[in-house]
Amino acid sequence: MIEENEPTGIGAPVRRREDLRFITGKGQYTDDITQPNQLYAVFCRSPYARATLNSIHTTDAANVEGVVAIFTGAEMVADGIGDLPCGWLVKSKDGSDMLSAPHPPLAASSVNYVGEPFAIVLAESIGEAKQGAESVVADFTEHNPVAELATAAQSEQIYEGIENNLAYEWALGDAEATRTAFAQAAHITTLELTNNRLIPNAIEPRACVGVYEAASGDYTLYTTSQNPHLERLILAAFVNVAPEHKLRVVAPDVGGGFGSKICIYAEEAAVIWAAGKVTRPIKWLAERSESFLADTHGRDHITTAELALDDMGRFTGLRVKTTANLGAYLSTFGSAVPTYLYGTLLAGQYKTPNIYVEVQGVYTNTAPVDAYRGAGRPEATYVVERIVEQAARELGKEPADLRRMNMIQPDEFPYETPVALVYDTGNYEASLDKALELADYAGFEARRAAATEQGKRRGIGFACYIEACGLAPSKLAIELGAGVGLYESGEIRMNPTGSVSVFTGSHSHGQGHETTFAQVVSETLGIPYDDVDLIHGDTGRLEFGLGTYGSRSIAVGGSALVVAAGKIIEKGKIIAGHMMQASADQVDFENGQFILQDSNQSMSIQEVAFASYVPADYPEDLEPGLTAKAFYDPKNFTYPAGTHIAEVEVDIDTGVTTLVNFVAVDDFGHIINPMVVDGQVHGGVAQGVGQAMLEQGIYDEFGQLQTGSCMDYCMPRADDLPDFTVDTTVTPCTHNPLGVKGCGEAGAIGSPAAIMNAVTNAVGSKDISMPATPEKVWRAIRGE
Amino acid sequence: MKVTLTVNGTNREVDVAPNTLLVDVLRVHLGLTGTHVGCDTSQCGACTVHLDGRAVKSCSVLALQAEGAEVTTIEGIGATDDLHPMQAAFRECHALQCGFCTPGMIMQGIDLVAHNDNLDNASIREGLEGNICRCTGYHNIVRAIQSVADGRAS
């Protein structure tokens, strides 16, 4: 409940209403849902990175006490269960379609990464299911795995018909014009970069509960998903587990996603299918070690980048060649992340007139790679901001000045980049200036000198990033290969007593929509905040939805609610006009009141809602009720941008690098709840610090994951991080009704480049790769 | 085997296998699902509860070890209309996002404040080494715990 006189409208830092259940232990996450008579599932997973699956013997397992059933891939195929599809068809530069490796939910004839599931064991208890899984005997013939990204295209061919293990060779930009720019350049800077493989690790492991009602034929899948409608669509249309109208997907409280819970996973398909086979509910919960093996991973690029400059220091060309690891299969959006979400962002904040990028998407015998916070945009920012910084150092220019002279200016919007985007608005120097001030850039040399006196090295680095959020519009996305539209749905139901039930296709798994979306509707309709409730995450209650990823929720889902609210107001004017003996166009709406022009008459929206449900004095031919739906399809992406500045101190003796200060100044357009936005930036920056300094998913030459637990894969702890300084600048988005841009990923997009620019500044070597571990830094200091 | 313990002030007796973990007694046998399991190597701290007044990771305690002990979980420290100061501070400071690590963070935060004088930013951060949050970057968690330590929370 809101305190009396507490501001709740757009822009107010309303304390989150969802917190009350989370801080009292009353959240309902998937593993908290228990069905009567439920079975427990455990998956048998491949111990090999690449092998032929000759046979599976289940007799011993079936005899384990408590084991109820064991299913294999062959049985799923026999039952007509289809492959897990990739949702984005990328075309190669020669116009050919990408080559998809077949991806059955349970491997039937071959396994292609360690951890790939090939059987599901169901038992009365989790212990019995584990014992059953250990008793399943599979006969494999091992093959040499392709574990190394750099040599994957020259390695043994993994899949028949997919030569050089290449899913696609994608390109964007004008190759010829870029070649000319380089031929005429006064200076060329070249960088070899790797973008390290990351493992998302939402703290809630993936889980699902499948339920089948034999009497009705209805399936219900409770699952850890960022997009339950997309899950239902794919499970119904491609995997064929049930007709769409017979499948309900519920994503209850979800403990973080970061992209890893977008994907439609094998375990979900197998559990809901098996629930139908045994007609008993089935629960599956990943152990963390399974999450490491079988959740989608992120990033994993090797890139050569070249920047051409004229004799004034103006950028004249950027040429980028990237090899992107797709893992063993094309995951749900795995094909789009290193192409359309990466190459299109290579203009950054700059007026570089000629850009050409080529991306080779390669298969390896590793876990599938898909979206992880930022998804393509951190990789693009890392390329642009590392090479711009390096160019400044080579030319002896002040890095801020070199950036400034190349930035797109506020009067140059809308600005069409050479890589297919049209930026609608921005003021890049404003965020750069504010960040320089907050970081006390002017005082850095004194701090550096003080550190040097103590035998340490200080470095400072920045990243002026741009991102594209709220992927849109649908028509363009579908033309470029998307399998679905990228709109969002919203519905507002005015209840007869004047309260409001709001439904959104966006999904909240930490973002705080129950609070922020209620703020938007409360202000738009002039209804008290406490009278507005948000419902999300259940295909049984919502019309449709595309879910939450790509920082799209407020820009697309929030806008849908504003459009729906507009329809409520329009209908309300007809009703109020009638009741005040006037026409609708004589009625204005303001702060929850329908006001008759040139009079002292008005009606509240609550009175109008009541009248709509008890239509005594009511317009003829008008339907009763006051509800409205909207599908909002954005006209363009939104383009959040900003400057992040990192300052590090390096211990020369140990190589230990400490992040001593981090400043983020972001332009997210209008802000609904600044408290929530600051929190999103903090979390994103922490994940960016993880990428730059701590985290790396490592497979050995045999394709075995060497970083398969929280003891081996180093996520940031509290004492790895400083307090963050975050602030904003505002240029409202020009094409959505809230003027918002989205804030979920910015922290993870700008920070890795800023930190690595600081580390390389401190050490004086450009050749340190992420994560900047003490060993790497120690060796770099010694010129190794 | 029968295990008798006090959970959130109530005497409970459960009949469990000898290898049963305390976290499973809480979640499965007693239905106290506010305590979460986030990893399998005792790193994440989502399962942190109080055992005889000290924070422990309930995934690393056998139910048998809790025989005769007092266990307090997130459900036992406050209610929606009567929040513990640490709960109130977490909400006030926006110290949670997805909420999954939160019960463990709150239980660890209470332990830190109860057993340390003069907590500052660095010592709070050090005291949270055993609890992983992937959403907040810890910034606001540290602020929340500091505010309770300073006696500023309501």
For residue range A660-712, what is the model confidence (pLDDT) as tens digits? 999 999 999 999 999 999 999 999 999 999 999 999 999 999 999 999 999 99
Instruction: Say if domain B85-149 classifies as CATH 1.20.810.10.
Output: no
The C-alpha torsion from A577 through A581 and A583 to A589, rounded to 10°, is -30
- A288 and A425 share one domain: no
Q: What are the structure tokens assigned to A435, written together? A: 């960040």
What pLDDT sits at residue B152? 55
Q: Among all chains, which residue has been given the structure tokens 């009763």? A: A624
Would residue A51 count as lying in a domain?
yes
**pLDDT single digits (tens) A551-607:** 999 999 999 999 999 999 999 999 999 999 999 999 999 999 999 999 999 999 999
* In-domain check, residue A279: yes
Cβ separation A203–B46 shorter than 8 A? yes
Would residue A377 count as lying in a domain? yes
Alpha-carbon distance of B36 to A211, in angstroms, equals 23
Instruction: Please check whether residue A662 touches B, CB under 8 A.
Output: no
pLDDT at B99 over 90: yes
pTM confidence score: 0.97
What is the tally of structural domains in chain A?
3
* A456 and A511 co-located in one domain: no
Answer yes or no: do A685 and B133 touch at CB < 8 A: no
Q: In Å, how far is B4's CA from the nearest CA of chain A? A: 23
The widest CA-to-CA distance across chain B, in whole angstroms, is 46
User: What is the phi-psi region of residue B65: left when phi exceeds 0, alpha when psi lies from -120 to 50, beta otherwise?
Assistant: alpha
Summarised one tens digit per residue, pLDDT across range B107-141 is 999 999 999 999 999 999 999 999 999 999 999 99
Judge if the upstream peptide bond of residue A528 is cis by omega within 30 degrees of 0: no
Give yes or no: residues A380 and A440 share one domain: yes
Q: Give the pLDDT of residue A390.
A: 98
Share of chain A above pLDDT 70, in %: 100
Domain that holds residue A334: 298-471+636-781
Give the span between the Cα atoms of A224 and A209, in whole angstroms: 10
Give yes or no: residues A458 and A499 share one domain: no
A20: nearest CA partner in chain B: B80
Please count the other Cβ atoms lying within 10 Å of the Cβ belonging to residue A125: 14
Q: If pLDDT is split at 50, 70 and 90, which confidence band does B154 have? A: very low
Residue A636 predicted with pLDDT over 60? yes
A672 and A724 belong to one structural domain? yes
pLDDT digits (tens, 9 = 90+) for A179-196: 999 999 999 999 999 999
Is the domain of A275 the same as that of A391?
no
For residue A533, the cross-strand partners are: A501
Burial annotation A283-310 (CB, 10 A radius, 16+ → b, else e): bbbbbbbbbbbbbbbbbbbbbebbbbbe
A156-160, A488-492, A541-545, B86-90, range with the lowest pLDDT? A541-545
* Mean of pLDDT values over A478-501: 94
Contacts of A709 in chain B (CB under 8 A): 39-41, 43
Burial category of A438 from C-beta neighbours within 10 Å (exposed 0-12, middle 13-18, buried 19 and up): middle
pLDDT exceeds cutoff 80 at A74: yes
> What are the pLDDT digits (tens) for A371-420?
999 999 999 999 999 999 999 999 999 999 999 999 999 999 999 999 99
Cβ-Cβ contacts under 8 Å, A711 against chain B: 41, 43
A722 and A642, same structural domain?
Answer: yes
Residue ranges of E strands in A657-724 = 657-667
In angstroms, the separation between the Cα of residue A254 and the nearest Cα of chain B is 7
Task: Examine the domain organization and report whether A459 and A502 are in the same domain.
Answer: no
Mean pLDDT, range A639-648, rounded to an integer: 98
Which amino acid would we find at residue A233?
Answer: L
Is there a domain that residue A195 lies in?
no
- Whether A25 is in a domain gets the answer no
CATH number, domain at A645?
A: 3.30.365.10
Residue A719 at interface with chain B, using a CB cutoff of 8 Å: yes
Tell me the per-residue pLDDT of A324-337, one tens digit each, with 9 for 90 and over.
999 999 999 999 99
A25–B80 CB contact, under 8 Å? no
**Res. B70: pLDDT tops 70:** yes
User: CA A244 to CA A233: how far, in whole Å?
Assistant: 7
Residue of A nearest to B105 (CA): A23
C-beta separation of A203 from B133 below 8 A: yes
For residue A476, pLDDT over 90 is answered with no
- Under 8 Å CB-to-CB from B43, ≥6 apart: which residues? A709, A710, A711, B130, B132
pLDDT confidence tier of residue B153, bands split at 50, 70 and 90 = very low
Q: Assess B1–A contact: CB distance below 8 Å, yes or no.
A: no
Query: Chain A partners of B108 at a C-beta cutoff of 8 Å?
Result: none
Tens digit of pLDDT for each residue in A256-278? 999 999 999 999 999 999 999 99
Same domain, A281 and A319: no
Task: Work out the average pLDDT over A462-470.
Answer: 95
The architecture CATH gives domain B2-76? Roll (3.10)
Q: Smallest Cα–Cα separation from A663: which of A426, A465, A462?
A: A462
Phi, psi of A640, rounded to the nearest 5 degrees:
-60, 150
Give CA–CA dist B26/B16, Å, rounded.
Answer: 12
Chain B segment 16-45 residues within 8 A of A by beta carbon are: 17, 32-41, 43-44
pLDDT the model gives residue A484: 87
Among the partner-chain residues A22, A253, A715, the one whose CB lies closest to the CB of B134 is A715
Tell me what the mean pLDDT of segment A650-659 comes to. Answer: 97
In what helix (H) or strand (E) does residue A609 lie, and over which residues does it extend?
A: helix A605-613
A721 interaction partners in chain B (CB closer than 8 Å): 125, 137-139
Pair A93, A219 in one domain: yes
Q: Is A382 in the same domain as A304? A: yes
Q: Looking at residue A91, what DSSP letter applies?
A: B
pLDDT in tens, A334-381: 999 999 999 999 999 999 999 999 999 999 999 999 999 999 999 999
Average pLDDT over residues B73-88: 97
CB contact under 8 A, B41 and A288: yes
CA distance A689 to chain B (A): 10
- For β-strands A117-123 and A39-45, DSSP reports them as antiparallel
CB atoms within 10 A of CB A763: 24
* A655/B contact by beta carbon, under 8 A: no
pLDDT at position A429 over 70 = yes
- Partner residue opposite A723 with nearest CB, options B34, B96, B121: B121
The answer to whether B53 faces chain A, any CB pair under 8 Å, is no
Same-domain status, A590 and A655? no
